[in-house]
Copies of this chain bind each other. A is one copy, B any other.
């Protein structure tokens, strides 16, 4: 058998295996949108079975054989789609076979209990309830890192799950440059001469009209309703079931225009990435998103750099005003644009604005890294959290449910996940700055309702590659530079200073 035959058999097998994932994404989508309550137990069984079967397929020893054949041939060399697929599939195979079945079962069991306990602890705002489960979760995370293996520190092995190839040291380099700049920008904003009137967005906005408005907006930026739809759920997300089927799930609030709309645009940004992937490679690394951080860079770019820009609202505000006449007829474009960019320090990450969001992440990054290293004890988390929160935001955390108990991630063993949110923001700013350099006058496109040039640029430079290049490498290829804090801080400083009348 030639290496080419092995490659064909390998990729056909892995594409088949991916169909089981597609089926389980569909089952999860249905669970969140339309499934009747009574279907929960059957659904868990279906999802469990699909996960088990896809795991069996991807860890079949044949996969290892095919991979070895490919790896010892020319196919694995050079900058080709084939070579990238082989590298990506090897990584997948190795990671999946490195965790013994007993470990996976032990982790699943703990995850379920720890999550339930976290829900209870957050409700009572009592960290001590959750602490013993977090201890055990950390033990398992360290064990998992050892099973996966790593070069510098255990935390790297965990980050790698969500952001392949990224390391704590590299992330730290960028975060440490960003942190003081962000803290100082936020201090400037606190003492600024003027503040937007957020109240404009907190008036009654008919939900039926919000739905329609969100559809108009995401359609305009390039989301193709022939290949997707919007449904409503408790917690927004975006999911894909294969080329040609990319669904947005979001929610609307009757007295908040920004939440629903920016949520829809954010998810549409994710969907646009998926819509731009290489269809031929669907089910293989080069037909799949590179990383959580890169995926988030696309959602954030459309949500923030585009969806909160003046040009964007020059086009859409008059439409919003006609649609939501009662709440917007007296409002000026300028006041509306300012309100869309309101910033204020707050306890809860998921409610944070662009200027404060990354501070929430950097705090978590330092804490979880120290926990994995053993430099910080679980019992000391609340104290450490609250001290840092005061330093970064100037606020005293009033209770743990507003502090270290707010996020689900640690309870379900997601260590190394948080930094991808901030990486997404950093990539989005660096990509967007480059797009502006290469495509002068981009924002005046938006003012005319034209988003094609930007979308085409993103498709050609980012989307089409899928996982062909690691995020850090893609960043260098696209922007000519390694990831840096500079584009993000420049963007935030320039936008916010103007809006807040600073300097």
A residues sitting closer than 8 Å to B (CB atoms) are 16, 19-20, 22-24, 26-27, 30, 34-43, 45-46, 49-50, 53, 224-229, 231, 241-245, 247, 282
Contact = CB atoms under 8 A, between A and B. Distances in A.
Nearest to A23: B23
A244 B40 contact: yes
A43 B224 contact: no
B26 A226 contact: no
B49 A228 contact: no
A225 B35 CA distance: 11
B49 A19 contact: yes
Nearest to A275: B38
Contacts of A38: 224, 226-228, 244-245
One complex includes copies of this chain to the number of 2
A245 B50 contact: no
**A-B interface, 8 closest residue pairs, ranked by CB to CB distance from nearest:** A42-B242, A39-B245, A38-B227, A38-B244, A19-B49, A23-B23, A38-B226, A39-B244
A26 B30 contact: yes
Contact of A43 (B39, B227, B242): B242
Nearest to A42: B242
Contacts of A229: 34, 36
B19 A226 contact: no
A243 B37 contact: no
Contacts of A245: 35-36, 38-39, 42-43
A54 to B, nearest CB: 10
Contact of A42 (B22, B49, B226): B22
A15 to B, nearest CB: 8
Nearest to A242: B42
28 contacts: A16-B49, A19-B45, A19-B49, A20-B49, A22-B42, A23-B23, A23-B27, A23-B46, A23-B50, A26-B26, A26-B30, A34-B229, A36-B228, A36-B244, A36-B245, A38-B226, A38-B228, A38-B244, A38-B245, A39-B227, A41-B243, A41-B244, A42-B241, A42-B243, A43-B241, A43-B242, A46-B241, A53-B53
A497 to B, nearest CB: 43
Contacts of A247: 36
A36 to B, nearest CB: 5
Contacts of A41: 242-244
A34 B42 CA distance: 21
A225 B207 CA distance: 25
Contacts of A226: 36-38
Nearest to A229: B36
Q: Which of A24, A26, A225 has the most CB of B within 10 A?
A: A26
A122 to B, nearest CB: 28
A24 B20 CA distance: 10
A26 B30 CA distance: 9
Nearest to A29: B30
